[in-house]
Copies of this chain bind each other. A is one copy, B any other.
Amino acid sequence: MTDKTEEKSLDPENWEAFRALAHEMLDQALEHMATCRERPVWKPVPNEAKQSLMEPLPLEAQNTKEIADTVTKSILPYGVGNTHPKFFGWVHGSGTPGNIIAEIAAAAMNANLGGRDHAAIYVERQVISWCREIFQFPPTSSGLVVSGTSMASLIALKTARDKKLGIDVRKKGIGAEGAKLTAYASAQAHACIGKTFDILGLGQKALRPIPVNSNYEMDMDSLRAAIEKDIADGNQPFCVVGTAGTVNTGAIDDLAAISNIAEQYDLWFHVDGAFGALGWLCDDIRPKLAGLDQAHSIAFDFHKWMHVNYDAGFVLVRDGEAHRRSFSARPDYLSPEERGLAGGNPWFCEYGLELSRGFRALKIWWQIKEHGLIRIGQKISDNCNQARYLGTLISKEAELELLAPIGLNIVCFRYRAPNKSEKELAVLNREIVLQLQENGLAAPSTTILGGKLAIRVNITNHRTQLKDCTELIADCLKLGNKLK
């Protein structure tokens, strides 16, 4: 029965050499973070690096030193750039070195937070309790650390669906009644909301896109009209999604007004606050988010404006019992116990899709403690200041044109040149963005607003300084003048 390998685990045979290698990797990792400003924002992955990531299936064990070398030579240097002060693309958080320490401890524990009674569970409970406190949700509300706002929205909207149709829907399916459910979100709402309706079987069409005003905020009259029309048509409005920070322009819907309408029509009021919800930490932004604390559910990311490492999001649900009812399933092999390892009830797997859940909570807990919410909030305010500063710079340049109001931290603009068609301007501005990226100068992204291709600058970056904004505008002008 015994054989030669049986007593040999996958642990290192030479622990000392292994320790040395781990410390070496840590030095490289810290050096990489400490020097991020000195490197280009982004550079294409070179062919040799790609080649080293195209090897046949490794059947035999490889030398750990050589694997580590591949990491430091072919992987580490070719990141997306979001740790750099001049990364302005999409909505990426920029991370902090503290995340490394938290990940080391989490990796050593290898905890599964699906449930059971162990310290990691108490860390996640602490994070949940803090989130309740931040958004002034009641003790009966529930929360769950998830991968991000997509998952958070799925959990929130499934809870809303099941509450509307009755919990029996979990067994019976949504059926004919489900086909009548309708919901509402701004035409600028994130694509993950539509995807959620698709997944839940309701279909993306059940989510009515409500037109926006000139500030890209949901138009309240249109919202009311859409609800009334659906009622008249025999549909069943059940949910309205407010956006706290659209991806395109950072617009914040009038959440207080939405909350009132939701109450009037008995709708579940969900807020997609992927990055914007954490503006609640800032005295100067909180007023724009008035009504957020009235939501039935909030979805947001820690990996954006709180700079927790990818991935880390959260869902907060006011009616904690409805949330649990919508996801709980405890077969025989997951029976709860009052004592022992199977204690710690309720288990987190009763609040979401996943039964195996990594220890994301630790890096969130660490981040909040290391920096404190005042300082994290200050950096959010700083980013909004920087966006306004960018707006000022743009307004001073005849060659540049702002394409949307600056509601929060996102600036959409373009280089304009006389006698250029819309199509030519799109080509020109796309080329400016591509060359900024390819030259490693800065990494904005693009979007389309009112048919116009915009250079889109998003600042969710604690390393960005005003000088980075000044340089970005100078580089845009230089490239625009060269390429026009």
Contacts and interface: CB of A to CB of B under 8 A. Distances in A.
B170 A203 contact: yes
A423 to B, nearest CB: 15
B201 A118 contact: no
Nearest to A24: B101
A201 B174 contact: yes
Contacts of A32: 108-109
B21 A101 contact: yes
A123 interface: yes
A435 B311 CA distance: 37
A157 to B, nearest CB: 11
B356 A118 contact: no
Contacts of A213: none
A301 B74 CA distance: 26
A85 to B, nearest CB: 8
Given A89-B341, A133-B57, A9 B110 contact: no
A57 B53 CA distance: 44
A419 interface: no
Contact of A389 (B1, B15, B369): B1
Contacts of A375: 5, 10, 60-61
B248 A333 contact: yes
A221 to B, nearest CB: 25
A369 B61 CA distance: 6
Interface string A11-48: 11001001101110111111011100000001011000
A256 interface: no
Given A29-B104, A148-B355, A178-B173, A60 B117 contact: no
A198 B355 CA distance: 15
Copies of this polypeptide in the complex? 2
Interface string A103-119: 11111111111001111
B173 A202 contact: yes
A26 to B, nearest CB: 5
Contact of A372 (B61, B83, B191, B462): B61
A164 interface: no
A393 to B, nearest CB: 11
A257 interface: no
A382 B8 CA distance: 10
A78 B119 contact: yes
A273 to B, nearest CB: 14
B173 A332 contact: no
Nearest to A18: B97
A434 B340 contact: yes
Contact of A126 (B15, B33, B54, B373): B54
Contact of A462 (B10, B62, B79, B443): B10
A172 interface: yes
Contact of A98 (B53, B64, B83, B331): B64
A354 B61 contact: no
A18, A105, A126, A176: residue with the most chain B Cβ atoms closer than 10 Å: A105
A327 B199 CA distance: 9
Nearest to A385: B1
Given A57-B133, A60-B372, A178-B173, A358 B147 contact: yes
Given A119-B78, A370-B62, A15 B29 contact: no
A79 B171 contact: no
A11 to B, nearest CB: 6
A76 interface: yes
Contacts of A313: 356
A199 B200 contact: yes
B154 A333 contact: no
A418 interface: no
A353 B154 contact: yes
Given A57-B130, A109-B79, A307-B10, A150 B200 contact: no
A172 B203 contact: yes
Interface in A362-376: 362, 366, 368-376
A479 interface: no
5 contacts: A58-B372, A80-B111, A100-B108, A104-B104, A303-B356
